[in-house]
Amino acid sequence: MAGSDVITRAAPDTVKILIAGGFGVGKTTMVGSVSEITPLRTEERLTAAGLDVDDLDGIEEKTATTVALDFGRITISRDLVLYLFGTPGQQRFWFMWNDLALGALGAVVLIDVRRPESSFAAIDFFERRNIPFVVGVNGFYGDHPYPPDEIREALALPDDVQVLLCDARERESSRDVLIALIDQLIASAVHTGAARQTEK
């Protein structure tokens, strides 16, 4: 019967994912490259007023910044839709992170391979709250000078946190990072479920 498919098919699960990391690491770029809807952006041109406040060392080419958040959506499969929330990177907007993290199942912490220290605070944020995350290493200018294991060591990441080399400008590459995160979330849910079963 025409339309029965529509009636019987359950609505997809929607999952909230944060795209986090320091200032200028490529969060807005990643949300923009994977989103299938025109991402909602709240970018403002960087102005002279922010010069003393925003640390532009090493990213002098940056001319706009996310003042509130980026929002995008990607359909992973018929059953799974991700809502992506790109966090603001500047220190003075950190107060928003707790609210943004509410209900988030996981996160991508992006790092700029040239200045990994700018994402330390984001890693720390998710570790403290036990929010699962993967690390996406955004190789600016397509450069990936360090293998994932070296980056893991430099960031003192535990073995279960995946480190993925990526290019935030590329849809496929950004999508791969999100799929790795989803795989990790599913694996840990299965693991927790199995542990509950054996407790019974």
Question: What residues make contact with ligand GDP under the rule CB under 6 A?
Answer: 21, 23-29, 61-62, 65-66, 89, 138, 140-141, 167-169
Single residue of 15, 22, 32, 66 touching Mg ion by CB under 5 A: 66
CA distances from 153 to 146, 149, 156 (A): 11, 6, 5
Q: Which residue, 39 or 106, is less far from Mg ion as judged by CB?
A: 39
By three-state DSSP, how is residue 86 classified?
strand
173 binds Mg ion (CB under 5 A): no
Q: Which of 28, 87, 90, 174 binds Mg ion (CB under 5 A)?
A: 28
Beta carbon nearer to ligand GDP, 80 or 180:
180
Query: Residue 166 CB, nearest distance to ligand GDP (Å)?
Result: 8
How many chain residues are in contact with Mg ion, going by CB under 5 A? 3
Measured in degrees and rounded to the nearest 5, phi and psi for residue 7 equal -70, -40
Amino acid at 63: T
CB-nearer residue toward Mg ion: 63 or 130: 63
- The encoded tokens of residue 178 equal 């999100």
Angle formed at CA 35 by CA 34 and CA 37, multiple of 5 degrees? 155
- Rounded to whole angstroms, how far apart are CA atoms 179 and 119? 21
87 makes contact with Mg ion (CB under 5 A): no
Q: In the complex with ligand GDP, which residue's Cβ is closer, 24 or 72? A: 24
d(CA 168, CA 85): 15
Residues that bind Mg ion (CB under 5 A): 27-28, 66
